[in-house]
Amino acid sequence: MDIEPDMTRAMKTFNRVPRYGTAVGRIMMHEATMLNWQRIERLIESRFEDCITVLIDTEYGPFLEGATVAAEVEAGLMAFLKSQYELLDAICAGTFVPDFMHLKYDFHNIKVFLKLSRGESGAEPMLSGLGSLDTERLASAVEGEGGTLGPYWEGLIRDLKEESDAIDGPGAVDTVADRVFLEKRLAIAGKEKSRLLVDFSRAAIDVANLKTLLRGRVLGKPPEYFADALAAGGRLDRSELVGLAGDPPDRFSARLLATRYGGMLEEVLHSEDRQVRLTSLDRDSDEFLLEKLAGMRRMALGPERIVMYMLKRENEVTLLRVVLMGKLHGVSAPVIERRLSSTYTRGGVQV
């Protein structure tokens, strides 16, 4: 990955303000309405009805008003997130930002249809409404009908299908699609030459690769699985990681601890034996990626700020979902708080 010369970077800052300035201004206003941690704690302590009353005064109000059951809460939160994506599409039209953000959901939907085409059941209700691709056209493209989504997506879906068909087992589509998603997202960030987004995407690849590696070892996956599942483009060399998969435990731990992610992996690797505490790995890796996001504040007037806002909103919705669903199901406040702190990071909200 090329490092931009300082002068080019400085000039880009000047060019970006006219391009993203208005969008950043609008995002600044929406950032101001995000829930802070004190408010989340207040929600945790409240009854479900009181939570909804508190949320009525926020941006969630129109979406959660009158919600009394889990399905309504879920629909409300998803509608809110959809409204945020519609805002993003409107204010960043013609830029790479919507592509960067929608990609995750487009890949999710592609996975759903690919699984359906392989006869893996139960995929239909899991479609996401946050993708940029029309789901009916997507379904047609997965069925092999050309001319629906354009050559880029059709070629990509064809490649995904071929690669996943070449792998046996129920997780084949996830294995291949998750890898390709990370690589494509890095390519989008690289095309825009956003250093911080490239760094973020590379860190996301590393984190995903490390999780895959650790989980794969616990599940006793064969070496060829890692060659299919690990994404290229991260700071940790993919071929070295594939090679690590077959190493004896001591050497495996020592080599991972020597990487830049050693601090994040310490707890997991030391608690090995070989019960890897993957929940804490998920939390630590999310925390790590959100720390990366915090660096995006430095680019106060560029697309990074918009991406940071969207990712933080998604995290906020996740936090709210845990709280509200917990309340609906009669989970006590300490348990909800413990679940939040053990599984989700506070980085998504203003602390």
Partner 1 sequence: MVGAVAQAAQGAAQASTWGGLTGFQWAIFGAAVAFIGGGMGSAIGITYVSNVASGILVEDPDKFGSLLPLLAIPGTQGIYGLITAILVTIFFDLAKLTGLNGLLVFFSCLPVAFVCLVSAIYQGLTAASASAMVARRTEELGKAMVLPALVETYAVFSLILTIYLFTRIPK
| Beta carbon of residue 17, minimum distance to partner 1 (angstroms, whole number) | 5
| Beta carbon of residue 18, minimum distance to partner 1 (angstroms, whole number) | 6
Query: What sections of the chain are H helices per DSSP?
Result: 6-31, 37-45, 48-56, 61-64, 70-91, 97-117, 135-142, 151-165, 172-192, 195-218, 223-229, 238-244, 249-257, 262-270, 278-294, 303-328, 333-343
Amino acid code (one letter) for 90:
A
Q: With CA atoms as reference, report the closest residue to 103 among 161, 156, 166.
A: 156
Spatial contact of 104 and 127, defined as CB atoms under 8 Å apart: no
- Residue span 4-43 as binding mask against partner 1, x where in contact by CB under 8 A, dash where not: ---------xx--xx--xxxxxxxxxxxx-----------
61 vs 171, beta carbon nearer partner 1: 61
Rule CB under 8 A: which of 290-349 touch partner 1? 300-301
22 vs 271, beta carbon nearer partner 1: 22
27 vs 320, beta carbon nearer partner 1: 27
Rule CB under 8 A: which of 106-135 touch partner 1? none
Burial letters for 219-245: b for 16+ Cβ neighbours within 10 Å, e otherwise?
eebeeebbebbbbebbebebeebbebb
| Beta carbon of residue 15, minimum distance to partner 1 (angstroms, whole number) | 11
24 vs 133, beta carbon nearer partner 1: 24
Number of residues interacting with partner 1: please give it, by CB under 8 A. Answer: 19
18 vs 125, beta carbon nearer partner 1: 18
Spatial contact of 247 and 255, defined as CB atoms under 8 Å apart: yes
What secondary structure letter does DSSP report for 95? S
What secondary structure letter does DSSP report for 276? -
CA distance 31 to 123: 34
| Beta carbon of residue 203, minimum distance to partner 1 (angstroms, whole number) | 25
Structure tokens at 273: 């034996």
Q: Which residues, other chains included, contact 195 with Cβ-Cβ below 8 Å and sequence gap of 6+?
A: 3, 4, 9
Tell me the CA distances in angstroms from 45 to 90, 141, 146, 162, 256, one per residue in order: 37, 48, 54, 51, 40
13 vs 332, beta carbon nearer partner 1: 13
41 vs 59, beta carbon nearer partner 1: 59
| Beta carbon of residue 303, minimum distance to partner 1 (angstroms, whole number) | 13
Rule CB under 8 A: which of 138-197 touch partner 1? none
Spatial contact of 100 and 197, defined as CB atoms under 8 Å apart: yes
| Beta carbon of residue 148, minimum distance to partner 1 (angstroms, whole number) | 35
| Beta carbon of residue 109, minimum distance to partner 1 (angstroms, whole number) | 31
| Beta carbon of residue 29, minimum distance to partner 1 (angstroms, whole number) | 4
- Residue span 88-107 as binding mask against partner 1, x where in contact by CB under 8 A, dash where not: ---x----------------
Give the binding site for partner 1 (CB under 8 A). 13-14, 17-18, 21-32, 91, 300-301
